[in-house]
Every structure is written in C-alpha cells, then in structure tokens.
Homo-oligomer: A and B are copies of this chain.
Amino acid sequence: MDERGKKYLLGKSQEFQSDLGIISEEQIANASIGDRLTTHLNKEFKVIKPNINDFIDLMDRRCSILIQKDIGSVIAKTGLGNGNKVVDAGTGAGAIALNFGNIVGREGHVYSYEIREDFAEIARKNISSFELEDIIEVKNKDIKEGIDENDIDLVFLDLTKPYEIFEDVYESLNLGGHLVIYAPYIDQIETSYRIAKKLGFSDLAIVETLERELEVRPQGTRPKTRMVGHSGYLLFARKL
C-alpha cells in the first residue's frame, strides 16, 4: 500500500515499479507484514497481508464478478461453513470460488465448472496465487454434461439457463443441501423458481439485496447519492 492508500498485489520474487519509484526484488523478498519499504524516490510503502477481498480487487478479472452484497447473502442464508463441499458454475475469473474456498477451508472442497478454457486458466492462476489450489478445483467442463460430485452442501449457479440442470443438481445435493441461482433478469429467476418447485425443492425464496451507504460530512450525515440499483436476484432452494 502506498502513501495514498492505493494497494498493489505482489509476488515474492519480482521488482516493483510505480510512479512513486522502484522497490527492488531483494527488498520485497525480505519484507514482512507491517514493514515499511522505501522506493528509490524515497516514497514509503507498507507491507500488508492481503485478505480475500483485497486479493479479488487486485487480481486478473476479465469478466464481471458478483458483488459483495450478493456473496454475503449466499453465505449467510445457506449457512456455509468450514468443511462444506460446494459446486459452482460458471467459474469466470474465480471470484466466487475464492470466496467459497476461503470459508470451507481444508476440510471442505470447491468444484468449479467453467466451459471456457481461457476463463478456467485465469481462474486457476488466481486461485493458486491465493494458495487455495488444494481446496478449489477448476474443471474446464460444461456442467450441463453432468455433475460428477455427490453429497454436496451447496450448488451455486451463475448461468443463463440454470434450470436446465436442476434434476442433476438435486441428485448431487445431500439432504439439507442448498441450490442457489444468481440471475439478473426476473424472467430467468421466475422460470427457475417454477421448475425448482416442480422438482420437489423446498424452502424456496427469491431475494434481492439493496445496499445503501451513509456518508458523514462536516455539515451532517446522509445516504450517498450514488447507489447500485440492481445487480441480480438470488433464488434459494433446498433439498429436504
């Protein structure tokens, strides 16, 4: 992090260059969390251990990623926790898989299906940079051809027509397991709801989350003018 609060993501064995100057490979290799490093222009940088959100903000992202309010809703409403087994599709740059992997830990596992080879490659690189490659497996495979895993706690789908594989999802879930669909359009989520209901899923709910920020200024406090009006709907369903 530089003096302006801007953060950078570095590997151990590389020189760092920015408009505030250069930090040598040697400096970086020897740095510990909390150290202050000085560039050749005499600017100071602080060494911080990235958490999952810092990492996702800075990693290689070539496609849109789920926003935090929606990820939070998925985690809280499914009660996702340490040791759980998760299937997600499509992987994209791996952001949601990273979130899941960060929670389920070494006792759990994430199987992430991505049909596009280039996305799968980026996701794998991101996952191994954050050292979750033992927990998250990216499968370069169309999930419509079948889900290989069983006894899954959570299947999360961010696909155009997720309902095409609901029968397969039902098979792969354990008793009590959750299916969660993310979809921006009402029509997608409505169709998903009707089909999930017909297939015997329980505890169905369609939820959207709106997030507002307050700003505290010298004159007073008020909600911010800018606000995300919509990202997507989440359908929650459970095998009971």
Contacts from A to B (Cβ < 8 Å):
1, 5, 33-34, 46, 48-54, 68-69, 71-83, 99, 102-107, 153, 174-176, 184-190, 193-194, 202-203, 205-216, 219-231, 233, 240
Contact = CB atoms under 8 A, between A and B. Distances in A.
Contact of A102 (B82, B102, B229): B82
Nearest to A192: B216
A131 to B, nearest CB: 12
A5 B187 CA distance: 28
Contact of A213 (B54, B174, B190, B207): B207
Which secondary structure dominates where chain A touches chain B?
mixed
A5 B200 CA distance: 13
A146 to B, nearest CB: 23
**Which 8 A-B residue pairings sit nearest by Cβ, starting from the closest?**
A227-B229, A82-B105, A72-B72, A72-B76, A185-B220, A81-B102, A223-B230, A52-B79
